[in-house]
């Protein structure tokens, strides 16, 4: 959700940390800073930076937001804090049409996910301060902000990897061991998809529907989580393979109240490469 960034005085920025001198690619979509950690992304992500379509999507609003996030991240980084950054999409915003519209992809990535990243970094900085001054109540009070925003960052980072344009394999059911496991644990591919869709449709409010691997029992499960709770909140042994965002912002502009239609159509662009890699690694 959108939260107000408080007006705050940023720590004094030393001259050598002026944005132009940070290691920013000249026309980057996204704020980066030297000590930024981001979830590893495939090399194809560079295409997102180079693509004219995504660059054209850069409005002044985004630049302002990126500048604010960059400055805040730089300030945090200058104190040795690890900060997170918005991962690039490995495809254009319009590449998942008509299943998911370019308008939704752009807002979802540039506004919603960016907001989680920004607020996650802010919460972590506040956490560090609270720990440093031994303020246990403040530490505890920050937990919900960390769960909301950190969870939002985790979940969306997985989500982008679960999607691919049709011409790059999106929509193709998994082969190999994960494909067989789906048949074994759900009876058939169709039964699995139906279960995901039923759980996603029945979820009240905001949340996610997941295909997860219980790594202790080596079993596949379908689970839902509320709001931005990561899958691990449903079980410490659960590893997310596929997540489908069923917050209204994920589909509303295109599908309006017809959530079941969104769920039916998104399978056309669900990609199984990441899920298969994770599954094979855990089941080795």
Partner 1 sequence: MATATVAATAPLSNGFLLRRGPNEGAKSARGLQWTKNQRQSASSRRFGAAVITAKFDLKPPPYPLNALEPHMSANTLSFHWGKHHRAYVDNLNKQIVGTELEAKSLEDIVIQTYNNGDLLPPFNNAAQIWNHDFFWESMKPGGGGKPSGELLKLIERDFGSFEKLCEELRAAAATQFGSGWAWLAFNPRPSDGKELLVVKSPNAVNPLVLGYIPLLTIDVWEHAYYLDYQNRRPDYISIFMEKLVSWDAVGAKLEVAKAQAA
In the sheet that holds 219-226, the strands lie side by side as 219-226, 207-214, 238-245
Provide the minimum distance between the beta carbon of 179 and partner 1 in the complex, in angstroms, as a whole number.
28
Angle 259-266/189-202 helices, nearest 10 degrees? 150
Based on CB atoms, which residue is closest to partner 1, 4 or 7?
Answer: 4
In angstroms, the Cα distances linking 225 to 56, 208, 232, 235, 261 are 35, 5, 9, 11, 20
For partner 1, the closer CB: 63 or 175 = 63
Report the alpha-carbon angle 133-137-142, nearest 5: 90
Instruction: Compute the least distance from the CB of residue 174 to partner 1, in Å.
Output: 27
Q: Closer to partner 1 at the Cβ: 184 or 253?
A: 253
Q: Bridge-partner residues for 213, per DSSP?
A: 220, 239
Alpha-carbon gap, residue 87 to 75, rounded angstroms:
20
Q: Which is nearer to partner 1, 2 or 134 (CB)?
A: 2
Neighbours of 171 (CB within 10 A): 18
Give the Å distances, CA to CA, from 99 to 239, 254, 264: 26, 9, 9
Q: How far is the CB of 22 from partner 1 (least distance, A)?
A: 27
Question: Considering Cα of 4, then 148, then 279, then 283, what sign does the dihedral take?
Answer: positive
Residues found near partner 1 in the complex (CB under 8 A): 1-4, 107, 111-112, 115, 144, 148, 202, 204-207, 224-229, 233-234, 247-249, 252-253, 256-257
Would you say 229 or 271 has its CB closer to partner 1?
229
């Amino acid at each position: 959700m959108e939260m107000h960034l408080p007006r705050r005085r940023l720590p004094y920025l030393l001259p050598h940390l002026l944005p132009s001198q940070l290691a920013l690619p000249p026309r980057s979509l996204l704020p980066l800073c030297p000590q930024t950690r981001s979830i590893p992304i495939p090399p194809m992500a560079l295409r997102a930076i180079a693509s004219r379509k995504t660059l054209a999507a850069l409005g002044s609003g985004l630049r302002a937001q990126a500048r604010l996030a960059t400055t805040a991240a730089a300030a945090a980084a200058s104190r040795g804090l690890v900060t997170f950054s918005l991962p690039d999409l490995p495809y254009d915003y319009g590449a998942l049409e008509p299943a998911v519209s370019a308008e939704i992809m752009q807002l979802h990535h540039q506004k919603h996910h960016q907001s989680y990243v920004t607020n996650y970094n802010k919460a972590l900085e506040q956490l560090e301060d609270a720990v440093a001054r031994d303020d246990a109540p403040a530490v505890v009070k920050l937990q919900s902000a960390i769960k909301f925003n950190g969870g939002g960052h985790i979940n969306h980072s997985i989500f982008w990897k679960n999607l691919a344009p049709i011409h790059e394999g999106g929509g193709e059911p998994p082969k190999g061991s994960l494909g067989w496991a789906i048949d074994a644990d759900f009876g058939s591919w169709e039964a699995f998809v139906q279960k995901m869709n039923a759980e996603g449709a029945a979820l009240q409010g905001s949340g996610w529907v997941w295909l997860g691997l219980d790594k202790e029992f080596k079993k596949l499960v379908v689970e839902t989580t509320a709001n931005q709770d990561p899958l691990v909140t449903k079980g410490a042994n659960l590893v997310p393979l596929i997540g489908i965002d069923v917050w209204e912002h994920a589909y509303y502009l295109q599908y309006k109240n017809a959530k079941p239609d969104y769920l039916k159509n998104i399978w056309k662009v669900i990609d199984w490469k990441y899920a298969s890699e994770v599954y094979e690694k855990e089941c080795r």
